[in-house]
Structure 1
Amino acid sequence: MKKCYYILVLIFAIGCEDFLDKEPVDAVSFNEQLGSYAGMQEVMNGTYIQLEAVIREREFYTYADLLGGNITFAPVEEERPVNVENNVENIYTFNDREEDSDLASVYQSFYEVINSANLMLDYVDNLTDASTAQKDQIKAETLAIRAFTHEQLLRLYGQHYLFTADASHLGIVYNTEPQEPGVDFSARKTVAESYALIIADYQQALDLITSESVLPLGPNYSYFSQESITALLIRAYLNAANWQRAADLAEEFIAETSIPLMITANYVAEWEQPNAPVSEVILELSLPTDNGGDVSGSLEGTFGYTPVEWGRFVASQDLRSLYDPLDVRSDLFIAEDIITTINQENIPVTYYWTKKFQDNPGTIIMRLSEVYLIAAEAQARLGNDNVAQNYLYTIVQRANPSVTPVTATGQDLLDAILLERRKELAFEGHYFYDLARFEKDVIRDTFGGDCIAQQCNLLYPNTRFVLPIPERNLNLNENLVQNDGY
C-alpha cells in the first residue's frame, strides 16, 4: 500500500512546504495528484518552479561571487552610505551561525525540491495512462533534479573533495526516498559517498532520457535534457576530482554538441538582448510567468540597473581591474557615478553593474564556456598541458583576439585557468567554490574600501569554507552532525 503524503496546490507551483511541521490546510492526496500523467506534469512543473526560485534567491546566487570577492555592494539610493545587505551579512563576514544562518531557508527549500523529486520517482511506475517512454522521461528529469540539488547542498556544506586524501570528510544527507513525518532521518554521507550518489543519479538519468521533455511547453534549455545532464555530469566529475572522466566526457561533449560557442563580435550583444539567453546556454531555468506573460521576479532585482532603481550587487574593483581594455568582456559593465556618503561627505563613486542580468533574464545554470574551462582544468591536472592550453586559449582568444597563444605549464597553467574562470564566469556563482577546489586563499581587500566586512580575507584551509547546518534541521534530525568550527 502506498504511503500517504500531501501536496499544496499553488497558483504557480505545486510543492510541499514545511510538511514535517504540519499538514497543509488545502491539501490533496499524493495518491490522487500523482496518479495520472497530467497530475505528474503539474508536480514536475511545480518542482522546476521551486528549484528556480531557490537558485535565484539572493543569498544563494550571490554566495560564491560575494565570498570570493567578485562582487560587492552599491548604496541603497543616492546620498546613502554603502553598507552590507542585511540578508547576507553573516556569510559576507564569514560569521554565519547555526541559530541564525543566512541560508537556512535555502537548505530547507533544496530538501523540499529533493522530496518532490523522490515522490515522483516513488509514484511513476504506477501510472496507467503513461507510456514506458513517458515514465522513463519522468525518472530521468527527476533523477537529474535530485543529483543537481544535492550537489548545490554539497558545495555549501561539505569541504571540497580533496580536503582529505580519500574524501572521507562529512558531506550531506543524500535522500533517495520521500521523507515521512515521524520517521528517523539519515545521517550525513562522506563527500566521497555523496559524489558517488550524485554521479550515479546523473548516469541513470542519461540511461533513461528520451527526446521529449515531461513538460510540453517552453524551450529545451529550460529542462534537464541529455545535453544538460551530460554537462552537469562533467562538472560533477571535476568537483569529484575525477580528472580523467571529466576530461574525456568534456572532449566528447565539445566535439558532438550542436550548441555554438558565442563569437567575439556578438558576445556583448547576446548578453544585452532582453528575455532571451545567450546562444551557448546549456541549462537556464526559465522564470514563471502570469497569465499576461509578466514575470514575478528575476536576477535583475539582484544585479540590475536603471537610473532610478538598481540592484545592490556590483563588480568589485578587484574583478573590474582584471579585464584588459581589448577584452570584449570589459564592455559587459554598466558604469554609473552615484553620489555616496563616505565619512559624512557626499562624493561621486563609480559603480559597475553587469550586463549579464538585465531585462528579466532567466537563471543560468551552465553554458558551453564552462565546459571548455573544465576540459582545460582536467587536462592540466592530468599533466596534459598542450591539450589544456588549447582549450583555455579558445576562451581567452574569444574574449581578446589579439592575445598570443597560451604557453604556461604546470601550476602557472592551473593559475591561468582559475583566472580565466573568474573572468568568464563572473556573477554566475562559481568563484568561491573554485578557490576552495584550487586550495587558494580568499583575498578581498586588494582595493582597501572595496571590502566592508570586518573580516575580508580567509586563509585556506579554514572551517569557514563551508556553512553551518541550520539549527532547526539539527533539531529535527538527531543523526545530523554539525560542521567543524560551528
Structure 2
Amino acid sequence: MKQYLYKITFVFLASIMAISCSDFLDVVPKDKILENQAYSSESGIQNAHNGLYLQLADNNLYGKQLTMDAVEILGQQYNINSSHVSSKIATYAYTESVPKITFTAIWEKAFNTVLSCNKFLENIDKFSGVISTEKTNELKGEAIGIRAMLHFDMLRLYGPIYKVSPSNPSIPYYDNFTTGNSPLLPANEVITKILADLDASLVLLKNDPVLTSGKYNASTAFDANPYYSANRGQRMNYLAVKCLKARVLLYAGDKSSASITAREVIDFTKSTAFFPWTSFSEATNATNPDRTFSSENFFSISDYTLYTKQMDLFDSNLDIIHIYAPLLNRINAVFESNDNDYRSLPSWKVPVTGGKTQKTFFKYADVDDKTKLFRLQIPMFKLSEMYLIAAETATVPADGITFLNTLRFNRGLNNLAATASVATEVAKEYKKEFIGEGQLFFYYKRTNTAAIANGAATVGNITMGTNQYVVPLPDSEINFQ
C-alpha cells in the first residue's frame, strides 16, 4: 500500500478544487496550498467532506464491486459458468489474474478512502473555527463512521473466518493519517477499534437532524443549512452508524449487544413516521417501482452512474458470458416460487428482449419519473436487517418468529408457523432481501456455512472453508509488511 500513500494528500485535495499557479507555489508545497484553500471556507470544507461519499460510490467500492459485482459472485448469486468472464472469481481462484486485479483494486481503493477520511479529520481540526462546533461534530462523526465501515468490510472480506479464528492476523487499522504501513492486527483487535470508532461517531452525531426531521426534510438545525440538515439518508447518519454497530456486534458474536442495538433502531422507527415500511403498491408500481424499498433505508449511496451499471451487468441483451443472471430454478428456489413476495416480481422478470429464458435483474433499472427521490440509490443499511438481527439474536424463539413475521408481512408473505426454525428462516431472508447489495457472502462467512448452492449448476452445492471465505491480502500489502 505504501506506493500510493504518499500521493493521497495531493490527489484528494486536487479533486476538490483547481488552484491557479502563482509565485507562492515556489515557496509553499502545493498540497499545503490546496489544504489552505480547501479548509479556509465552509464551502471548501463541504466539498472535501462530500468527496468522501464520491469515493464510496467508486466502482471498486459500493458503486459496484462491494454491492452488485464481486462479493455477489462470491455468494453464488449468479450463474457464472466456466466460460463467463468472471468465472475465476466464482470458483474462488484468488491467485488467477482477474480475481487478483479485482480484489487488489478493492483493497487499495478502500484504504485510499480511509486515508482521505483521516486527512479530512486532521484538517477539520487544524482549521477549526471556520464552521461551528455543531457542524464540525456532524462532519467528523460521518467521517469516523465511514472509516469504521470501510475497515469492517475489509475485515469481512480479507480477514479470517471470525467464528473460527478471531485472533488470527487480519488487516491493518488506520485511525490517523500516515504515509507508512501499519501492522496486521488480530481480527478481534480490529473489531475493538471499529467499535471504538462507532461509539465516537455516535457521540458526535447525537444531534443528527435525522432523529428529529427524518432523512429528506431540512430542519432548523445548523442554521437550516441544507448541507447539514437535509438528505440525511445519503449520509452516514446516526441511525446508519447504529445499524453498522449492530452488524459488527453480530459478526463478532456478541449477540446480546447486537440485539440491544438492533432493537433500539427498531424502537426508534416505531416511535416516528420517518422510516415506514415500503408498501406493495410502491414496490410494484407499473411505471415507477421502488424496488430498493427506499423508505426503509437509513443510508444509501448516491451513484449517478447506477443505470449504466444496470445495463453493463444485468441487461437482457448482454451475451451469456457477460450477463450477471441466475439460473431460473435457482432464483425460483430463493423466492420459493412465490411471486406474492414483492422482492421477486418487480426485480426479477423473464425479459422480452435478448432471447433469455432465465429471469434477469431489474432492481437498479431506471423509472419513468426522474424526480423520484429513490432514483440512483444503492441501499447500505436497512430496517429489514435490524429485524433479521433482532430475530437471530432473540433469546426466546417466539420473539424471533415475531420479528420475522413482521418482515414477512411487509414483503407480502404469510406468517411462519410457531414451530419454524428461526435460523433457517433468517437464512432464507438474507437470500431474498439483499440481492445486489453485497451481504449474502458475508452472512455465509459469519455463520461459517459449510456448503452453499452452486450458482452455475441447477443442483448441487459448493463446499466452503478458509480457501473460499478468506480473500488473500494483495501483494501490494504483503510486500510492505
TM-score (norm 1): 0.78
Structure-1 residue corresponding to 2:139: 138
Q: What is the alpha-carbon distance in structure 1 between the residues aligned to residue 291 and residue 117 of structure 2?
A: 28
Q: What is the alpha-carbon distance in structure 2 between the residues aligned to residue 40 and residue 422 of structure 1?
A: 40
Q: Which moved more, 1:431-440 or 1:354-363?
A: 354-363
The structure-2 alpha-carbon separation of the partners of 1:72 and 1:217, relative to structure 1 and needing over 3 Å to count, comes to farther
Q: What is the alpha-carbon distance in structure 2 between the residues aligned to residue 10 and residue 350 of structure 1?
A: 48
The structure-2 alpha-carbon separation of the partners of 1:418 and 1:204, relative to structure 1 and needing over 3 Å to count, comes to same
Structure 2 alignment gaps of length 5 or more:
1-7, 19-28, 210-221, 367-374
Q: Which moved more, 1:54-63 or 1:147-156?
A: 54-63
- Counterpart amino acid of 1:376? A
- Counterpart amino acid of 1:462? T
Q: Deviations over 1:49-86 (max 9, x none)?
A: 01111334543322332222222259xxxxxxx9313x
Tell me if structure 1 keeps the 8 A contact 2:277–2:410.
no
Tell me if structure 2 keeps the 8 A contact 1:287–1:298.
no
The structure-2 alpha-carbon separation of the partners of 1:30 and 1:357, relative to structure 1 and needing over 3 Å to count, comes to same
Deviation at 1:372, TM superposition (A): 0.7
Pairing partner for 1:371 from 374, 377, 386: 386
Q: Which moved more, 1:234-243 or 1:35-44?
A: 35-44
Deviation at 1:109, TM superposition (A): 0.6
Alignment of 1:9-48 (within 5 A): 28-48=33-53
Deviation at 1:406, TM superposition (A): 4.3
Secondary structure of the corresponding residue to residue 284 of structure 1: strand
Pairing partner for 1:459 from 458, 463, 466: 463
Structure-2 residue corresponding to 1:248: 260
Alignment of 1:391-410 (within 5 A): 391-408=403-420
Q: Deviations over 1:93-148 (max 9, x none)?
A: 21112873421111111111100110111122232322111221121011011001
Q: What is the alpha-carbon distance in structure 1 between the residues aligned to residue 456 and residue 31 of structure 2?
A: 54
- Counterpart amino acid of 1:169? N
Pairing partner for 1:440 from 449, 457, 462: 449
Deviation at 1:275, TM superposition (A): 11
Alignment of 1:118-129 (within 5 A): 118-126=118-126, 127-129=128-130
Identity %: 21
Structure-1 residue corresponding to 2:25: none
The structure-2 alpha-carbon separation of the partners of 1:93 and 1:309, relative to structure 1 and needing over 3 Å to count, comes to closer
Q: Does 1:469 align with 2:473?
A: yes
Deviation at 1:270, TM superposition (A): 9.7
Secondary structure of the corresponding residue to residue 282 of structure 1: strand
Deviation at 1:443, TM superposition (A): 3.2
Q: What is the alpha-carbon distance in structure 2 between the residues aligned to residue 416 and residue 371 of structure 1?
A: 15
Deviation at 1:398, TM superposition (A): 2.8
Q: What is the alpha-carbon distance in structure 2 between the residues aligned to residue 322 and residue 275 of structure 1?
A: 17
- Counterpart amino acid of 2:342? V
Q: What is the alpha-carbon distance in structure 1 between the residues aligned to residue 31 and residue 290 of structure 2?
A: 38
Structure-2 residue corresponding to 1:315: 326
Deviation at 1:457, TM superposition (A): 5.2
Structure-2 residue corresponding to 1:305: 315
The structure-2 alpha-carbon separation of the partners of 1:139 and 1:404, relative to structure 1 and needing over 3 Å to count, comes to closer
Q: What is the alpha-carbon distance in structure 1 between the residues aligned to residue 258 and residue 438 of structure 2?
A: 20
Q: What is the alpha-carbon distance in structure 2 between the residues aligned to residue 424 and residue 13 of structure 1?
A: 40
Tell me if structure 2 keeps the 8 A contact 1:337–1:350.
no
Tell me if structure 1 keeps the 8 A contact 2:316–2:353.
no
Q: What is the alpha-carbon distance in structure 2 between the residues aligned to residue 179 and residue 351 of structure 1?
A: 49
Alignment of 1:51-62 (within 5 A): 51-53=56-58, 54-61=60-67, 62=69
Deviation at 1:315, TM superposition (A): 3.0
Alignment of 1:352-391 (within 5 A): 352-359=359-366, 361-379=376-394, 383-391=395-403
- Counterpart amino acid of 1:260? P
Q: Deviations over 1:374-408 (max 9, x none)?
A: 111122xxx32111111111122333444444422
- Counterpart amino acid of 1:40? I
The structure-2 alpha-carbon separation of the partners of 1:461 and 1:270, relative to structure 1 and needing over 3 Å to count, comes to farther
Tell me if structure 1 keeps the 8 A contact 2:408–2:414.
no
- Counterpart amino acid of 2:56? L
Alignment of 1:319-334 (within 5 A): 319-323=331-335, 324-325=337-338, 326-332=340-346, 333-334=348-349
- Counterpart amino acid of 2:50? N
Q: What is the alpha-carbon distance in structure 2 between the residues aligned to residue 272 and residue 171 of structure 1?
A: 44
Q: What is the alpha-carbon distance in structure 2 between the residues aligned to residue 149 and residue 260 of structure 1?
A: 28
Q: What is the alpha-carbon distance in structure 2 between the residues aligned to residue 177 and residue 201 of structure 1?
A: 12
Secondary structure of the corresponding residue to residue 314 of structure 1: coil
- Counterpart amino acid of 1:279? S
Secondary structure of the corresponding residue to residue 435 of structure 2: coil
Deviation at 1:32, TM superposition (A): 3.9
Q: What is the alpha-carbon distance in structure 1 between the residues aligned to residue 327 and residue 56 of structure 2?
A: 28
Secondary structure of the corresponding residue to residue 189 of structure 1: coil
The structure-2 alpha-carbon separation of the partners of 1:138 and 1:232, relative to structure 1 and needing over 3 Å to count, comes to same
Structure-1 residue corresponding to 2:212: none
Structure-1 residue corresponding to 2:148: 147
Q: Does 1:70 align with 2:70?
A: no
Q: What is the alpha-carbon distance in structure 1 between the residues aligned to residue 426 and residue 32 of structure 2?
A: 51
Q: What is the alpha-carbon distance in structure 1 between the residues aligned to residue 417 and residue 458 of structure 2?
A: 36
The structure-2 alpha-carbon separation of the partners of 1:297 and 1:263, relative to structure 1 and needing over 3 Å to count, comes to closer
